[in-house]
Structures are given as C-alpha cells and as structure tokens.
Amino acid sequence: MMEGDGHIQESREENVESTTSSQPPQNPRKKKNKIEKKRRFSDEQIRSLECIFESESKLEPRKKLQLARDLGLQPRQVAIWFQNKRARWKSKRTEQEYRKLKDEYDNLASRFENLKKEKESLQIELQKLSDRMKKSVDGRRESTTWVAKDNNKEDGGSGSGHSNWRGDEAKPSYSNEGLEDREAMHSHDENEKSYEDREHQIQKMEKHGNEHVEVPLASVEKWYSVDPSSLLDQSCSSSQWLDFWT
DNA sequence: CTGCTCGGTATAATTACGTCA
DNA sequence: CGTGACGTAATTATACCGAGC
C-alpha cells in the first residue's frame, strides 16, 4: 500500500550528510542511542544502489568500499542494504512464481473438472448401453426357450406371437428407439468417432449370441481402465491424476 | 482547514546461525 | 580445529503515510 517514494523525498534529502549513524552497535538489542537514529537513504543514494544491484546482486569488497565512499555511507550500510535488497528481491520473485503456479493450477483444475463431467456423461451412456444389451440378451434367451417349447409341441404352436421372431434375425422393438437416441447423441457428442467405435462394438455384441457377450463387454470396460473412484476422489495424489492426462 | 492519533507498510539495522577459505 | 569474513533468514526498530476524528 505505501510505496511512499515520492512522499519522503524531502526528509531524505537532509539525510545525505547524516547517514554515518552506523557505528558498531555498542548496545546490542534495544535501547539505541538517540544520536544514532535511523535515517533513510536519499533518493540519489537509493538510485545508485538500485542501479548497481541490477547488474550485480552481490558486491565485491572493493566495489563496496568504493560505493560507500561515493555515496557517503559506511561500507557496512552498503552491505546491509544489499542484503536487505536481496531478501526483498527474493520474496518478490517467490510471490511472482507463486502466482504463476497458481494460474497453472487453476487451468489444470478447470480442465480436470471438464473432463470429469465428460467422463460422468460417458459412464451414464455406457450404463444405458449395457442395460440395452442385457435386455437384448435376455430377450434372445427367452425366445430360444419359446422356440424349443414350440418344437416339442405336436401342433406347431400357433397360439403364441413370440414365435414370430428368432434370436438370430429378429431385433427387439426398442432398437429403433435406440437409433433415435444415438442420433440425438451424435448431434452433440464431441467424441463422435470414439462413440461410433463403441456403437460398432455394441452392434457386434448384439449380433452375436449369448456366449459372446462377455468378451466384448470386457473390452468395452477397458476404456475405463483408469479407476474412476480414484480419479473422482479429490484427495488422490497429484501424480495419480497427472498420469491420467498423459 | 489544522492537528493529532492510530494502524499499516517500507526499510535500515540487528541477531543468530551456516559456510568456507 | 579455530577464526574471521561473509552469506541468509528472521526479527526488531524506526520513519513515513493515509485515514479518521
């Protein structure tokens, strides 16, 4: 808040002569002699010190003596000024680095949130497809039972509408709805390509019989080989979710 | 407007401790 | 190994400013 460089100009001007206050501390710790009151350096002194600090943050002893002579300061004062300047410069740099890192972190966090949302919607989609597949498999199992029963009958089984379609060729009526769903999804899904791949898998799975279901499903689940619970867990280690990005 | 106090900030200086020739 | 010079980090003491009354 208070830089105050401009405001203290006058009081500094008169300090140029009186800056030789820094005798070795006779009374270390507290209770300074009133005579050796702290004086701020003049603007001119500060300018010179800053100028030299820019080119070299540490002073050679000879340069220190020379500078002290030039500015009318004690060499000790020059050394202390450089020490304090280095400390201020370091904390300033630390603050800048902190801000930079924080920005990077915020960016990553927001990307992470977006991906998390996307992952959740994909999980929902996967669940839907799994349910649909399960229905399909169950439907086929039922139909084959019906067919078997019909074959055992002498009459040829005209009483049941279920015998109109067989597991190999007939599709359950919800497949059309599914198509509509899929089209709707296509319209706003950014990962259309991978979605199509998955659809292809599902269709393949639907075509095959009961015994083939397990294997493709397992491969589908490989898409989610990263443990979702660990990803969603806020307390997970950074390396864990950094691995996820790569 | 002037003067005073108060709280916050900047900075000169001190202290403690580590490193190295 | 002891020593002195010099470094950093933490802290203290003082100067200075703006706000509020």
**What is the average per-residue pLDDT within A199-222?**
45
Residue A148's pLDDT band, with cuts at 50, 70 and 90, is low
Buried b or exposed e, range A235-246, using 16+ CB within 10 angstroms: eeeeeebeeeee
Residue nearest to nucleotide C9 (CA to C1'): A87
Lowest-confidence region among A41-45, A68-72, A99-103, A234-238? A234-238
Sign of the alpha-carbon dihedral angle for A49, A50, A55, A60: positive
Per residue, what are the HEC states of chain A?
CCCCCCCCHHHHHCCCCCCCCCCCCCCCCCCCCHHHCCCCCCHHHHHHHHHHHHHCCCCCHHHHHHHHHHHCCCHHHHHHHHHHHHHHHHHHHHHHHHHHHHHHHHHHHHHHHHHHHHHHHHHHHHHHHHHHHHHHHHHHHHHHHHHHHHHHCCCCCCCCHHHHCCCCCCCCCHHHHHHHHHHHHHHHCCCHHHHHHHHHHHHHHHHCCHHHCHHHHHHHHHCCCCCHHHHHCCCCCHHHHHHHHC
| A2: CB within 7 A of chain B nucleic strand | yes
For residue A189, pLDDT beyond 60: no
- Identity of residue A58: K
pLDDT at A123 over 90: yes
Q: What share of chain A has pLDDT > 70, as a percent?
A: 42
Which band of pLDDT confidence, cut at 50, 70 and 90, is reported for residue A37?
low
Q: What whole-number percentage of chain A has pLDDT above 90?
A: 13
Which nucleotide is the nearest neighbour of A2, by CA and C1'?
A: B9
Band of pLDDT at residue A197, cut at 50, 70 and 90: low
Q: Looking at residues A59-75, what average pLDDT do you find?
A: 85
**What does the pLDDT read at residue A88?**
86
> Would you place residue A243 in the very low, low, confident or very high pLDDT band (cuts 50, 70, 90)?
very low
Distance CA(A246)–CA(A244), nearest Å, equals 6
* Residue A64: predicted pLDDT: 86
Residue A32 reports pLDDT greater than 70: no
Question: What is the per-residue pLDDT for A74?
Answer: 83
What's residue A127's pLDDT?
Answer: 95
Strand C and chain A: which residues 42-101 have CB closer than 7 Å? Answer: 58-59, 61, 79, 83-84, 86-87, 90
Query: Rounded mean pLDDT of chain A?
Result: 61
Q: Which nucleotide in the DNA or RNA is closest to residue A28, CA to C1'?
A: B14
Binned at pLDDT 50, 70 and 90, residue A116 comes out as very high
What is the predicted pLDDT for the residue at A204?
A: 54
Residue closest to B12 C1′ by Cα: A38
What is the model's pLDDT at position A65?
84
Count Cβ atoms within 10 A of the Cβ of residue A153 and give its class: 0-12 exposed, 13-18 middle, 19 or more buried.
Answer: exposed
Answer yes or no: is A31 CB < 7 A from strand B. Answer: no
Question: A13: number of CA atoms within 13 Å, CB side?
Answer: 4
Residue-level pLDDT at A235: 38
- pLDDT at residue A190 greater than cutoff 60: no
Q: Is the confidence at residue A175, as pLDDT, over 90?
A: no
Highest mean pLDDT, choosing among A154-163, A164-173, A200-209, A232-241: A200-209
Q: Is the CB of A24 under 7 A from strand C?
A: no
